[in-house]
Chains A and B, each alone.
Chain A
Amino acid sequence: MIEAKSLTKKFDAKTALDKISFSIGSGSLFGLVGSNGAGKSTFLRTAAGIYRPDGGEILVDGMAPFENSAVKSRLFFIPDYPYFIPQSTLTDMADFYRRYYPEWNRDKFEKLCGIFPIGKKDKIVNMSKGMQRQAAVICALSTQPRYLLMDEIFDGLDPVMRQLLKRIISSEVAERRMTVIIASHNLRELEDVCDHVGLFHRGGILLERELDELKLGIHKLQAVFRPIPLMSAFAPLDIVKAETRGSLVSLVVRGHREEILKKINSMGPVFSELLTLTLEEVFISEMEVAGYDIENILK
């Protein structure tokens, strides 16, 4: 379990993380979303023990990761631009990591090298951005980490590799109860793979929720009425957002699917349907309710 308690990190006068508090349970796939400069990468680096917090604390399995080899041996961090030893090959990197990570698994390394189309003897510096990320993932998973922290991991990967990566990560979580944190500003990538999400904004966490709870508890309702009833007629519904265009009423409504349908059908619509919101739409709705200009936050 990773717990942030009033975690603060400053870079000179700029506060990158401002007293954030939340926790990430073991075995979860946690998506960190937010715009550029929101503090996602800083949070990951602090969790990986690279940065020392300037206030509060971050605990991994109850221990602070900074200068704690015992904790770090269970963690692996893939930054947005992974670094490799100059002039090294994947084999060299494997030799490097096996020295430090007690759970290094050579068989897994060989297996992953077979899955990802990468030459073990090729110099990593000559590889494309996407291949370098694949190399980083191979090394990371071969250390069999209990916590895998990844920053913008899908950048540069082609759609096939993205799906492959998501599948491998999901199976690792299922098999070993590995906890994964993925930071991204791309909500569509995260909603396929994550079970929890947290929204960062200007060093703070605006929202942290289970994805199913978030998505199943809110729906988009579209209904055609002739004539259109007064808005007060929709009062039994927990409306987040309402919009009327001609005879079409579009509502974002909280609540269970069946209950919403029952209530709306009792009003005698010509046509009605309940749609599932994308993660981005959910965030936009929730944040607007909270008073944030979410479109700007997620830009």
Chain B
Amino acid sequence: MTLKIFSNRAAKEWKETFLWVLKKNRGIMALFALLLMIALPVGLMVAFSSAGVNLYITEPVNETFSRYFLTLSIYIVNPLLLLFVLVLSALLFSYLHNKRSVDLFHSLPAGRVPMLLGRWSAALTILFLPLLLSCLTAFAVGASYGVDARYCLAAPMVQLLQSMLMAAAALTFSIFIAVCTGTTFDMILSILAINISYPLLILTGTEFAKLLLPGLGWNVQPDSVLFTALAPFAAACLPFPNLLFAAGNSSAYFGSIKGNFLTWWLGMTLVLLFSSLFFYMRRKSECAESGFAFALPKIVIRFLVTAVAGIGAGLIFSLSGSNGGMFFPGLLLGSLAAHVTVEAVYSRGFGQMKKSFVFYGGFAALFVLFYGVLATGCFGYDTYVPSAQDVESITVSSVSSPVRALQYYYGSDTIGDTRGTQIAEITPTIRETENVKAVLNAIQAHVDEVRKTQYPYGLDSSTGNETIDLEYHLKNGAVVTRSYHAAVNTADNTSEISKMIDKIVQLPEYIQTSTLIFYIEPQMIGSVDLESKSSGNSNTFAPDQAQKEELLRAVQKDVLNRKPGTEDSTVNSSALVIQIKDKLVPTGKLKELTGNYSGEVTLYPIQVELNENTPNINAVLERFGWRQ
């Protein structure tokens, strides 16, 4: 009975707070709605009008609508949404930062939980109602241009839900910071500091680790969860390029949406909301206008900024030397400057500076620990090479070896649809057991050599001209990445890494899976051009089926036989350009590569330099009488 009375009372307090905040901020809501109307429905009308007569010719109008909607949402609506999140957070929660307003609101017969929830839900309503209204109007605008919502609703709806989720996450994060801080200035400063410094720390930390730990093959992706895990404003902005890239195609758009990213932010929003309530219940009213209500956020922010500035300055300094020795002066200068600045800004002076160096000591200790772990191989990370029986396949995601002159070109390594959107990528893949063993042995030899000569590891500020990035696809489903690099004199072909790269790239399976020429079939060839580089003349030939088969076999044979390190003589040479038929439906190996894609694809022409390294092609061309 008591619980019921409490619940009824709390529900009423929530309702009254919610309604009052809505009423008080109806002007802001109207302004937001107006701006969204200009951004989305009016923006769509302008885009459709600009397209003019081409609107219905170049692509179906449904797809045009979807593309325009996504582009406007990502470029204009989302930033606008985040700006209003910040404005609303300051407007609705700055009462916590003023002693007089705290007197009013905390003496009201309303609990802190319903008061915070009432404001939170009102803020979401102020953000989402105009957003939904502008989207509905946008669909109405689309319908007036003949857009059928049944065929283009999915991607805009997903984008809308994603925007709403990220806005909710950013708002809840701002409220959490508002509860933890004593002034609105500190609140805004903290929101910005975390959202800028956290992704930068992941970025600089990773780059630093890659300089120290051999084999570390982790690259920061803008839409990875870890990159923006504690920074919702950054998380709402950084995946924009990926989304925008995919915005032209619904299936590609859905492919760019990452489930774990959305799940993380859904969970984080709830965690932040409950944390805000928890801390608000424990917040002392007298904290208003003072520094931080709770010490932890200040410690975290100071650590983040100190670490980013320290490692960042260290990395910049280390560029001036090849052995990384300048990293430490940079680290010291950057971290000290950042620590002093953050402390002076948050404490409004230098009164607490001496005490704060305890926390700088904490940062230094953590950095030493981090450095020590990496320098000693990170618990065996440096020497890990899986056993052959555990490996399903090994893919080489990138390789660069000026020593071995591997930058020859046999056509693009990406395959796109007819609008140019990428649907597959050619990645060299080793699957055969013997080849897997050979690759693993080569890597093991390199790893052993590095361990023997460089342990404990020091900073290697040269990113290396010899690099190879690998992915082990294990039979248990796990994917392990490794990246090896070294700076090697191009005249030196005896370095351990060059030998390793040699062994891998000379495997026939590597060559056959790394070049487009091994994925096409004779019937896919449209025409053949022979270009003379010296005269600039070009002759086009239309081979019959038998000629196509013979030519393709000859090209494949020469590519397969070609040894790394053999230079192409480009002076006075000719080039064979194999033109692939337009709007090709993949079959055979190509279909397998594109994941059984059933639509039409566009392949770039395949070009081969003709010289002494292409005897089989030369012979075929002579026989066909194409070569003068």
Contacts and interface: CB of A to CB of B under 8 A. Distances in A.
A49 B106 contact: yes
A77 interface: yes
A193 to B, nearest CB: 22
A99 B19 contact: yes
A221 B276 CA distance: 64
Interface residues of B, number: 24
A72 B104 CA distance: 12
A50 B281 contact: no
B141 to A, nearest CB: 36
Given A83-B100, A85-B24, A11 B286 contact: yes
B16 A49 contact: no
A200 B405 CA distance: 89
Contacts of B19: 99
Interface in A163-219: none
Interface in B240-292: 281, 284-286
A11 B287 CA distance: 9
Contacts of A45: 103, 107, 285
A55 to B, nearest CB: 14
B433 interface: no
Contacts of A83: 98, 100-101, 103-104
Q: Considering residues A67, A69, A72, which has the most beta carbons from chain B within 10 angstroms of its beta carbon?
A: A69
Interface in A225-275: none
B108 A72 contact: yes
Interface string B100-120: 111110111111100000000
Contact of B285 (A50, A72, A84, A85): A50
Nearest to A11: B286
B517 to A, nearest CB: 72
B20 to A, nearest CB: 6
B531 interface: no
B557 interface: no
Given A99-B16, A100-B109, A79 B100 contact: yes
B285 A67 contact: no
A100 B286 contact: no
Given A11-B286, A50-B285, A69 B20 contact: no
Contacts of B285: 45, 50-52
B107 A75 contact: yes
Contacts of B10: 69
Interface in A52-111: 52, 67, 69-73, 75-77, 79, 81-85, 95-96, 99-102
Given A83-B101, A85-B24, A48 B109 contact: no
14 contacts: A45-B103, A45-B285, A48-B107, A50-B103, A51-B284, A52-B285, A67-B111, A67-B112, A72-B109, A75-B107, A79-B103, A85-B24, A99-B16, A101-B109
Interface of A: 11, 45, 48-52, 67, 69-73, 75-77, 79, 81-85, 95-96, 99-102
Give 10 closest A-B pairs by Cβ, nearest first.
A73-B109, A83-B100, A72-B109, A99-B16, A69-B109, A83-B104, A48-B107, A77-B107, A79-B103, A50-B106
Given A82-B100, A84-B104, A102-B109, 19 more contacts: A45-B285, A49-B106, A50-B103, A50-B106, A51-B284, A51-B286, A52-B285, A69-B10, A69-B109, A70-B109, A71-B109, A72-B109, A79-B100, A83-B98, A83-B101, A83-B104, A85-B24, A99-B20, A100-B108
